[in-house]
């Protein structure tokens, strides 16, 4: 098995496992609609900022979606945003890398919510988003090596990562700018909607109360 086939097979396993995890949560129709809306918003954000290389709100939207909704929905938002935005930018061997990268960022948002107990500390969160931008580049830069006819050497891998570093830094800085601009407000809005969804689930899942029995009229006289 060639390096290209083995890596793409691994990405396929990760994506399949992520979507299977999301499916096992049995999301309601409202959650499905919310995840689809957030994925579309993240994809449109990438398209809208196309003139600025690697400066996109997509990573912030995916990370914060996972922060509020959890790991499985966050993964779905990120992966769907990757494939949806490439309907404009073009599909290719880079698509599964981007889907996986943003899916993992959605899961990272959920993990950060657990670590911070959903308090969203601004400076540490901005630092995590910097790491997300650099990590996303570290992963997706490998997609350029899949076009090679043989297994790449360590020097080729290092050269690829170094050549992509300016774009990865731009991505990381853009993440901080977008987080400062709309991050906390986006989280507040999404948290309010999440509470409304939880109230709706509780009302729908709660058993209906049986009518109280009529009082015994006693013996007829």
- Tens digit of pLDDT at every position of the chain (221 positions): 577 788 889 999 999 999 999 999 999 899 999 999 999 999 999 999 999 989 999 999 999 999 999 999 999 999 999 999 999 999 988 999 999 999 999 999 999 999 999 999 999 999 999 999 999 999 999 888 876 666 778 888 899 899 999 999 999 999 999 999 999 999 999 999 888 877 554 444 444 444 444 444 444 44
pLDDT of residue 199: 56
3 state SS for the chain: CCHHHHHHHHHHHHHHHHHHHHHHCCCCHHHHHHHHHHHHHHHHHHHHCCCCCCCCCHHHHHHHHHHHHCHHHHHHHHHHHHHHHHHHHCCCCCHHHHHHHHHHHHHHHHHHHHHHCCCCCHHHHHHHHHHHHHHHHHHHHHHHHHHCCCCCCHHHHHHHHHHHHHHHHHHHHHHHHHHHHHHHHHHHHHHHHHHHHHHHHHHHHCCCCCCCCCCCCCCCC
pLDDT of residue 148: 67
| Range of the structural domain that residue 89 is part of | 3-148+155-201
User: Is 215 part of any domain?
Assistant: no
User: Is 66 part of any domain?
Assistant: yes
The CATH number given to whatever domain includes residue 25 is 1.10.1760
For the chain, how many structural domains are there in total? 1
Token digits of residue 62: 């995916």
User: Is 164 part of any domain?
Assistant: yes
pLDDT of residue 147: 67
User: Is 221 part of any domain?
Assistant: no
Neighbours of 26 (CB within 10 A): 7
Token digits of residue 6: 């083995």
Neighbours of 142 (CB within 10 A): 18
**Pair 136, 97: CB distance under 8 Å:** no
User: Is 216 part of any domain?
Assistant: no
User: Is 89 part of any domain?
Assistant: yes
User: Is 64 part of any domain?
Assistant: yes
> How far is C-alpha 8 from the geometric centre of its chain's CA atoms?
20
């Amino acid at each position: 098995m060639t390096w290209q086939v083995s890596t793409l097979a691994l990405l396929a396993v990760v994506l399949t496992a992520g979507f299977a995890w999301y499916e096992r949560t049995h999301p309601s129709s409202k959650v499905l609609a919310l995840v689809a809306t957030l994925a579309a918003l993240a994809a449109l954000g990438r398209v809208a900022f196309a003139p600025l290389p690697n400066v996109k709100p997509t990573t912030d939207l995916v990370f914060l979606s996972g922060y509020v909704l959890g790991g499985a929905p966050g993964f779905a938002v990120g992966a769907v945003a990757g494939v949806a935005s490439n309907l404009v930018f073009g599909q290719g061997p880079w698509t599964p890398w981007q889907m996986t990268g943003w899916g993992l960022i959605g899961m990272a948002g959920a993990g950060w919510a657990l670590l911070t107990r959903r308090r969203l500390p601004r400076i540490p969160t901005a630092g995590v988003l910097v790491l997300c931008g650099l990590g996303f580049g570290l992963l997706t830069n490998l997609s350029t090596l899949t076009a090679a006819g043989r297994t790449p050497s360590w020097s080729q891998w290092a050269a690829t990562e170094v050549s992509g570093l300016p774009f990865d830094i731009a991505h990381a800085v853009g993440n901080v700018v977008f987080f400062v601009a709309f991050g906390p407000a986006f989280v507040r809005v999404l948290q309010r909607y999440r509470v409304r969804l939880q109230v709706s689930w509780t009302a729908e899942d709660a058993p209906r109360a049986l009518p109280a029995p009529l009082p015994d009229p006693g013996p007829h006289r």
